[in-house]
Amino acid sequence: MLLYNSATRKKEEFTTHTDGKVNMYTCGPTVYHFAHIGNLRTYIMEDVLEKYLRYIGYDVNRVMNITDVGHLSSDADTGEDKMLKGAKREHKTVMEIAKFYTDAFFSDCAKLNIKTPDVVEPATNCVNDFIKIIEALLDKGYAYIAGGNVYFDTSKLDNYYVFNNFEADDLAVGVRDSVSEDKNKRNKTDFVLWFTKSKFEAQELKWESPWGLGYPGWHIECSSISIKHNGEYLDIHCGGIDNAFPHHTNEIAQSEAYLGHPWCKFWFHVLHLNTNNGKMSKSKGEFLTVSLLEEKGYDPLAYRLFCLQSHYRKAQEFSFEALDNATAVFAKLISRIASLDENDGDIDNDTVEKYRKRFIDALGNDINTSLGVTCVYDVLKADTNDSTKLYLINDFDRVLSLDLIAEAKKFNEKKSAPSESGEDKEIDDLVAKRTQARKDKNWAEADRIRDELNARGITVVDTPNGVTWHR
């Protein structure tokens, strides 16, 4: 399998520390708000990567943290703790906020068929592990205490800028983010391992430590949780591209300083989902969630397909028109699969091998998901019987996770359900009114009609050949 490695900036043959086994780590969500569909793009692409590794026979151990402490508003250790911000916004405690948004995150993941990692570990469960590593870093001379906080000394490393080509001045993120610089730092790129002093004394969660009552920095939690559950050698680390610097650079710095040897070989970064206003982000306050898409009548799996249509190393632009297109493509694909007959002869093993190879090659070339989806169309067009086609589609769906067979079954069940012709006529009329409103560019009226139809359990699908609807 060829995979782009952000650490070497090259596509490389994927190899692991132990034959047949993959130790995988994913930066989990900061649970102070709902995950937006941009965050979920990253988790969808990581899910495909994980499922593909399993598909080609690897035994994968995937670990993910839940950031419920220590992630400050600026990634450069300044600003308010994001969790505290969320708690204040909703007049709740930090732990209440963490529980609510952790549950919401996994409920969104389930709707998008994103598998829950083998290990999910909240940072607040691991404070003693963080303290142990910080003590070792102090002992080895990689860390220092200043103004009550413990800092990592980046000048002690030969190569700190793993994910960045820029000069030190450009990397002064604290300055760049127009928040005040921390005068305790010996070098601009040093980062906090343990806080006892912050401008925000109202920090709700604090723990006893050898350096006083305080709380951990964000970066140490990922290094520590990964080492705890994946051991000293990590095969692949995933995250959105905004995590590459400073978060992942700092993870490498402290993990390798602590372990005394190289830590993680492959770095998999997913580019952002953007809107026409730029990157979708939680801190901007305005963002789209899975629930919001559902309220508008979209199937979360159509969003998954939308993500699979583009490569993870390219930024993807979100628009409702693009999602409408993906919805139409999904509906058409399901209707084609629904027309296949599962009792159409024996499965042809030669054809299975031929198309499986094509699918493995498509995804094995740096997780080319759109080519993976094309393989489903290739199977539909293949010169073989329907049983073989259904077998292959089901097989590819172990990685794509679009519920292709189950959705096709549902489609056939609905088709054979008795029609309520009086109501159907009324719905046809409403759909026609909506189409007219869209032609007149009266978007508010078109949305209103769509909402009314959704409230009645009707999904409207815009296809290049016109508008269709289903219950």
Cβ neighbours of residue 263 closer than 8 Å, sequence gap 6 or more: 232, 233, 234, 252, 255, 256
**CA separation (Å) from 364 to 152, 331, 356, 378, 382?**
38, 27, 12, 17, 22
What, of ligand AMP, Zn ion, none, does residue 222 touch, CB below 5 to 8 Å by kind? Zn ion
Least distance CB 231 / Zn ion (angstroms):
17
Which of helix, strand or coil describes residue 264? strand
What, of Zn ion, ligand AMP, none, does residue 246 touch, CB below 5 to 8 Å by kind? none
d(CA 446, CA 281): 27
Task: Give yes or no for residue 222 binding Zn ion (CB under 5 A).
Answer: yes
Task: List the structure tokens of 127.
Answer: 């404070």
Which of helix, strand or coil describes residue 293? helix
Q: Using an 8 Å Cβ cutoff, are 184 and 151 in contact? A: yes
Identify residues 66-85 at the interface with ligand AMP (CB under 6 A). Answer: 67
Q: Which stretch binds Zn ion (CB under 5 A): 24-32, 122-130, 315-323, 341-349?
A: 24-32
Indicate which single residue of 12, 232, 242, 447 sits in contact with ligand AMP (rule: CB under 6 A).
Answer: 242
Indicate which single residue of 7, 69, 280, 293 sits in contact with ligand AMP (rule: CB under 6 A).
Answer: 280
Tell me the sheet residues that pair with 72.
81
Task: List the structure tokens of 121.
Answer: 């570990």
Task: Give yes or no for residue 122 binding ligand AMP (CB under 6 A).
Answer: no
Task: Give yes or no for residue 226 binding ligand AMP (CB under 6 A).
Answer: no
Q: Using an 8 Å Cβ cutoff, are 324 and 293 in contact? A: no
Task: Give yes or no for residue 120 binding Zn ion (CB under 5 A).
Answer: no
Task: Give yes or no for residue 311 binding ligand AMP (CB under 6 A).
Answer: no
Task: Give yes or no for residue 27 binding Zn ion (CB under 5 A).
Answer: yes
The nearer residue to ligand AMP, 218 or 359, going by C-beta atoms, is 218
Q: Which stretch binds ligand AMP (CB under 6 A): 123-131, 161-169, 236-244, 454-462?
A: 236-244
Q: What dihedral do alpha carbons 37, 39, 45, 51 form, nearest 10°? A: -100
Least distance CB 224 / Zn ion (angstroms):
10
Least distance CB 373 / Zn ion (angstroms):
29
Binding footprint of Zn ion, residue count (CB under 5 A): 2
d(CA 227, CA 223): 6
Cα 197 versus chain centre, distance: 33
Q: What is the DSSP string of 202-223?
A: T-S--B--TT-SBEE-HHHHHH
Q: Using an 8 Å Cβ cutoff, are 40 and 289 in contact? A: no
Task: Give yes or no for residue 6 binding ligand AMP (CB under 6 A).
Answer: no
Binding footprint of ligand AMP, residue count (CB under 6 A): 19
Identify residues 355-394 at the interface with ligand AMP (CB under 6 A). Answer: none
Task: Give yes or no for residue 273 binding ligand AMP (CB under 6 A).
Answer: yes
Burial 218-256 (b: 16+ CB within 10 A, else e): bbbbbbbbbbbbbeebbbbbbbbbbbbbbbbbbbbbbbb
Q: Which stretch binds ligand AMP (CB under 6 A): 33-41, 189-197, 302-310, 449-457?
A: 33-41
As a 3-state breakdown, the chain gives helix, strand, coil percent values, each rounded to 5, of: 50, 20, 35
d(CA 21, CA 9): 24
d(CA 97, CA 108): 16
Task: Give yes or no for residue 282 binding ligand AMP (CB under 6 A).
Answer: yes
Indicate which single residue of 6, 23, 30, 226 sits in contact with ligand AMP (rule: CB under 6 A).
Answer: 30
Q: Which stretch binds ligand AMP (CB under 6 A): 23-31, 73-81, 291-299, 444-452?
A: 23-31
The nearer residue to ligand AMP, 33 or 434, going by C-beta atoms, is 33
Task: Give yes or no for residue 39 binding ligand AMP (CB under 6 A).
Answer: yes
Task: List the structure tokens of 313.
Answer: 């190393």
Task: Give yes or no for residue 42 binding ligand AMP (CB under 6 A).
Answer: yes
Task: Give yes or no for residue 66 binding Zn ion (CB under 5 A).
Answer: no
Indicate which single residue of 7, 34, 41, 225 sits in contact with ligand AMP (rule: CB under 6 A).
Answer: 41
Spell out the SS3 assignment of 223-261: HHHHHHHHCCCEEEEEEEHHHHHHHHHHHHHHHHHHHCC
Cis peptide before 117 (omega within 30 of 0): no
Pairing mode, if any, of strands 78-81 and 119-122? unpaired
Site string for ligand AMP, 184-223 (x = CB under 6 A): ----------------------------------------
The nearer residue to ligand AMP, 222 or 376, going by C-beta atoms, is 222
Least distance CB 126 / Zn ion (angstroms):
13
Least distance CB 226 / Zn ion (angstroms):
8
**Identity of residue 356:** R
Which residues lie near ligand AMP (CB under 6 A)?
27, 29-30, 38-39, 41-42, 67, 239-240, 242-243, 270, 272-273, 279-282
Residues that bind Zn ion (CB under 5 A): 27, 222
